[in-house]
Structure 1
Amino acid sequence: MRRVLRPAGLAVAVGLLTTGCTEGGVFDTLNPKGENARIIDDLTNFIGIAAVVVGIVITVLVTYVVIRYRTTDETYDALPEQVHGHTVAELTWTIVPAIGLIVVTVLSLPAIFELDSQDKDDITVLVEGQQWWWQFSYDLDNDGEYEIVTSGDIVFPAGQQVNLQITSNDVIHSFWVPELNGKKDAVPGLHTPLKLHADEPGVFWGQCAEFCGLSHAEMRLRAVALDDTDWERWVSEQTTAGVIPDGQDVAVQRGYEAFGQFCSSCHVVDGVYDSAYENEPPLLSGIAPNLTHLMGRTSFAGGIFELYNDDGTVNEADLLAWVRDAPGRKALAPDNQQGMTSFAEQLSNEQLSDIVAYLSTLGEAPILP
């Protein structure tokens, strides 16, 4: 048995060590790009170094004791010297760890309070986790009204703190953009605070960090920090309502009508289906992303498919495959309202292509740093 366990244990250890050798990974907790992440990084570095020092001291002492007082044939039956009631020793191993804990506490508390504090004048974004994607609703002037509702990409101005209120519409999720802050659980019925700050414009990857069901590993997001000019342009585009097709493009017009028939009971296009389909059944709240400015995002389907090819054209192949059979592209449970249903048996290839043509008209290309 030992002959089997030892190589297996060594293989596991080597595997764990090599996981830290990835270069250029998008989820890098040791590469802070904003004020909040730096607070965590500084505290982690101090505690980590202190832990290494303590570990070395203990290892040296234990090694010394093992070697210095090892049993010999002459001392095998001898009773070791007893230290029970040794006041100095007992005070030392009580006071020294207590001092260490006090130091860690004194350094940790200001960091915790700073990370939890929010300035009421900063932009507020409601972050809603849902199996298996993220929705972001922007209260730009803190009047309690959400002027922008989007998903997949959380866009914000670089160099400014942005207040997040994190919650969930179903199960517990966890919002995590490691280069900008620590993770924060998204709990149904609760709004928990978090802040985002990026020093410079850039794109930072995020991920749900709490197991939440079938597609937990495919519940991703991107935090996009823009300079002031691009931020103002993004807000202007996102606050523009959708437009009803004028009928000049026949495929787009057919796609618009098919979308209204098969998709608008779950998806919203502001200014279009909240007016053109007044007699339709009410929208089912929280089931599907708002698609008003779909083309202004970098990805879809919970961040697992790119919306654009490398040459800047719309990724129609993946978009068409997703509309046709979403459960075949990502683990979903549409019967429980957990993800999109399949239209492979309901819609013809022409109808599916028409819907993709219509989706491709929803919004401008994404604004990226």
Structure 2
Amino acid sequence: MTAGAGIGDTRSVMIADAPVKSASAGLVLNGRVVGAPAAEQVVRQAPPHSEPIERRTGSKRFGPIQVGGGAMSARARWAPAMGCGGAAGEISRATARLDRVTLNGDLVRVPGNFSSLSSTALSGRGSDANSVASATVSTSRIELAGGEIRIHVLRAPILRVSMNTSEGGEVRYQPAVIEVSGPGVPRTRLDTVRDKVDITVSDIGTAAESAVVPVLPSRGSLLPSIPGLPAPSGETHGRAPVLESGSTKAIVRVSLGAVRQARKGHSLAARVTALRVTMVHAADSDGRRGRAGYEPSAVVARLGFGVLEAAAVAPEPRKAPGGSGVRGETLPVTGPRVAPMVITGAGLLVGGALAVLLGARRRRRNS
């Protein structure tokens, strides 16, 4: 998955030994479009803020992306007792809700409510305290290729990462359950990671070529980051479906992504794209399909719905003079006794997809 811009992005973080110990942010668009207004956002940090903030948003257009009205909220709290595992509960939370989202007109459409949520929390007390990071996105329906494919989301994906100094960390992932259908498309249920279905539809070239403005990644994060986190390996899409030479159709592959995770000491990070969509159509439209030197099909877009990331970190135990490890309650005062954590939960990833769309459009113009 190419990193890009996120629609309906929510981010939360808790870092017990940093000046900003708890923070959250909700964004309509985590990215930028040249010539378009800046996307609305809400941010909370603790200390000093303690009261949550909520803001309603109106309809906006960002180049090829159209979003309806909605709301964002951010909450961050901190108390000294949290730094030594003396208090438990939710630390930060961010939400984003949009009433509808469209990309390139009819290429991708979320006609109803779309929401994203991320949170950080502490569970347990003292040296048994766990840091917990969670992320989820939800909607009821997604339409692709002008409504030829309809995806009904029966169960939302949830990613949860926890870490404990003495017992280690854990990644839990509940995959989405979806039902794929459409005019002439048999109902197909996907409920296990790596499940997939390929669907042949009418040519999507017109919709694919409608993007004329690139969506760029954000220039930087709104929230503090934790240095040295392990990076999960990139997701692999496998070989894209291939159309036969001379075809006027297109293929859309819908699949459920698998969790990637990485561990380093007492750091644990996980990433998953809950629902992945790959669109391919005939590479050329000028009668040269099938000739030597031309591919019979080309990837038009790779989109990700429910791009979830979470990480939890616990401090490394300090070595006692005799060389034996010591438990969390005797950590040096310069380090936190509970786990720092960070989480990002992005909604619909679009930046990489639009780069492919624009690239394909330019190649056809120059051929």
More helix per residue: 1 or 2? Answer: 1
More strand per residue: 1 or 2? Answer: 2
Larger radius of gyration: 1
Higher relative contact order (CA 8 A, sep 6+): 2
TM-score, normalisation: structure 2 = 0.22
TM-score, normalisation: structure 1 = 0.22
